[in-house]
Amino acid sequence: MKTVKAKARPDEPITEAVVDKALARGRKLDRPGANATTVRYEDQCLSIGFADGSRVMLPAANYSEFKDFSPQDFQQLEVGFAGAALCCEARDLHVSITGLIAMSQPLMDMAVSLVASRNGKRSSTVKAEAARANGRKGGRPRKAEQPL
């Protein structure tokens, strides 16, 4: 792991320009739909909803963080940390949604498959140009047969 030293920054006065710059940086990082908007407890599962209307249901029994939770505790769960965590202030619990999903092997297998599929469709400009050049020559050259 790479270690990064913190930079010493002098105290900056907070001006409109500094606030606008920080907001612009935040908008670049904003990923609509990537962060949760709702959480419900139904059928002994945590139902986590996202901005685009999609929802993930995770069995609460699969997670040790929720083993001593009562139905009232589940009702107090809220989405926090800008949609990145589930929080229960009564239990002083903050759990990463990404971490919960990562603990589900079937969901991780599906995510790996989706990422591989998406990455396989990508083509760099160099790769696209090489394919066009091969096409102008009549396609990919045949492999030379090995003599016996």
Laid out side by side, the sheet with 36-42 consists of: 36-42, 45-50, 55-59
Q: At residue 34, does pLDDT exceed 70?
A: no
Instruction: Supply the pTM of this predicted model.
Output: 0.60
Reported as a single tens digit per residue, the pLDDT across 71-119 is 899 999 999 988 899 999 988 999 999 899 999 999 899 988 988 888 8
Top-level CATH class of 36-103?
Answer: alpha beta
Q: Which of 124, 44, 40 is nearest to 79 (CA)?
A: 40
Greater pLDDT, 32 or 119: 119
Structural domain spans, the chain: 36-103, 105-136
